[in-house]
Amino acid sequence: MSKTVLIVLIVGSVFVSCEDIFLGENHEADFIELKPTDEMFYWLMRSRNDPAKDPLVLWLTGGPGCGSQMSIFYENGPWHVNDDLTLRKNEYSWNEVANVLYVDQPLGSGFSSTQKPEHRARDQDDVNEALYLFLVKFIEKYPEFKGRNFYITGESYAGHYVPGITAYIISQNNPDMNLISSAIGNGWVNPRTQYPFYRNYAVEHELVSIPLNVLLYAGFYGCKLAIDSGYKVFAYKTCEYLMKTITGSPNEFNVYDITKPCEGFACYDFSNFVNFLERKDVRGIINVGDKPFNMCSGEVFKEMSGDQVNDFQPDVKYALDNGVGVLVYNGDNDFICNWRGSEAWVDEVFWEHQNTFRSAPYQKWVVDGEAAGEYKKVKDLTFIRVYNAGHMVPMDQPKRALEMLKDFIARDFFYQDRATD
């Protein structure tokens, strides 16, 4: 009998050894206690290459209020979930080249929890304080990452999280956090600029009629005025109403990838990973016990509604002004955080090399001899349009996403000095 597989029958169920469930991957999952009532869940994927030397990459899922597990099992984590709730290896996992840290935040997302509702985040300031405290305690627990090259990444509503926590870390001047660069994928960063580009993108892809286009032009001007008024919840509801005039409610097309049908929650069937996380043996290994799992928390989303229309473009500028690189990448089939809107807000960043960046030509981005997209780069700022990808680039174009990460870590995008002003 093989000694590499141990099968134990208990009450008619089959349990496989811990090593085999996760295919021998070097990983650790647990909680960091922020306060006696608050604990934040993390899942650390050690590098498959050189975990002792490779950098630490933090990944933040958006929402707001969505746990990190969807990204782990469908995007850039080490595994995918089979229909029989076993795992298969993801050869394009980001831990091919880095130690990747996934965190469920804000509190109430995923497995993270608080016993006091008043401790839930209501804006990015709350997010920054809790996440920074988590990182301090994480480094205390894992001192091998003290001073290690550190990168912050995320997608969607992480367009708020990533620049926000990046700026906060810079301001703390903590030598234990050697922050090199940040990356925002299909991010929601500057709503005032991005909301009107729903209309532009919809017209470009023939998603709206000409009469509706005329009405939307005026409507999104009103959206801007609502944001400028300072009544944030009112502005959010006003602008979202206009967006839903295009998409329908419920959605009439897949807002995350206009080339695909919309089926199930968030237009995709993610039930396999949710069911996998219900396995008692899995829960034991990742130290969550019988804690409830909130794939995407409606309560967190509601609490953060006043923060939805805030602009985090100034935090991007702050990062650039302090020598921290910024990569913005966008799948071009995404409607909800479309590349046209991202291109516009990136061009608007008021930094030292703004004029040079705005006028810089796009370069071809080639992966394995195929056109993967196009990008432009000046000093520490890079923008990439990823061809044939939707809202979740690592899911739709996993190989390209991994190649992008390699360049991101190797600084190939960030430190080619092409600025002239």
Find where tokens 């089979």 sit: 82
Task: Give domain status of residue 228, yes or no.
Answer: no
R_g (Cα) of the chain, nearest Å: 21
User: For residue 377, what pLDDT is reported?
Assistant: 95
Report if residue 284 sits inside a domain.
Answer: yes
* pLDDT at res. 14: 38
Q: What is the pLDDT of residue 250?
A: 77
Q: What is the pLDDT of residue 19?
A: 53
Report yes or no on 35 lying in a domain.
yes
Q: Which of 90-99, 224-233, 329-338, 387-396 has the lowest mean pLDDT?
A: 224-233
Q: Which domain holds residue 84?
A: 28-193+268-410
pLDDT confidence band for 419 (50 / 70 / 90)? very low
Which one of 71, 93, 156, 181 is the catalytic residue? Answer: 156
353 catalytically annotated: no
Q: Report if residue 218 sits inside a domain.
A: no
Q: Considering the chain, what is the average pLDDT of its residues?
A: 91
Tell me the per-residue pLDDT of 13-41, one tens digit each, with 9 for 90 and over: 334 445 589 999 999 999 999 999 999 99
Is 188:194 a contact under the CB 8 Å cutoff?
yes
Distance CA 394, CA 94 (A): 9
What total number of domains does the chain contain? Answer: 1
**Which one of the listed residues 27, 80, 353, 391 is annotated catalytic?**
391
Phi, psi angles (nearest 5°) of residue 153: -135, 165
Confidence at 3, pLDDT banded by 50, 70, 90? very low
24 or 1: which carries more pLDDT confidence? 24
Average pLDDT over residues 38-62: 97
**Average pLDDT in the 204-229 region?**
93
pLDDT in tens, 329-357: 999 999 999 999 999 999 999 999 999 99
Within a domain: residue 404?
Answer: yes
Asked whether residue 56 is domain-assigned, the answer is yes
CATH at 112? 3.40.50.1820
pLDDT of 16 reads 41
User: Which residue is it, tokens 């304080």?
Assistant: 129
Query: What is the average pLDDT across 350-376?
Result: 96
Q: Which of 3-7, 147-151, 362-366 has the lowest mean pLDDT?
A: 3-7
104, 315, 334, 380: the catalytic one is 334
Residue found under tokens 């034991």: 284
Confidence of residue 174 (pLDDT cuts 50, 70, 90): very high
Distance CA 320, CA 348 (A): 13
Q: How far apart are the first and last CA of the chain?
A: 70
Residue 343 DSSP SS3 = helix
Confidence band (pLDDT; 50, 70, 90) for 412? low
Whether 323 has a pLDDT exceeding 50, the answer reads yes
Annotation says 334 is catalytic: yes
Residue 253 lies in a domain: no
Q: How far apart are CA 309 and CA 279, in angstroms?
A: 38
Tens digit of pLDDT for each residue in 114-128?
A: 888 888 889 999 999
Owner of token pair 């301090």: 136
Q: Is 391 a catalytic residue?
A: yes
pLDDT digits (tens, 9 = 90+) for 148-170: 999 999 999 999 999 999 999 99
Please check whether residue 294 is in contact with residue 110, taking contact to mean a CB–CB distance below 8 angstroms: yes
Mean pLDDT computed over 60-81 = 96
Residue 217 maps to a domain: no
Per-residue pLDDT of 273-322, as tens digits, reads: 999 999 999 999 999 999 999 999 999 999 988 899 999 999 999 999 99
**Cβ contacts of residue 214 below 8 Å, gap of 6+?**
none
Q: What is the pLDDT of residue 410?
A: 86
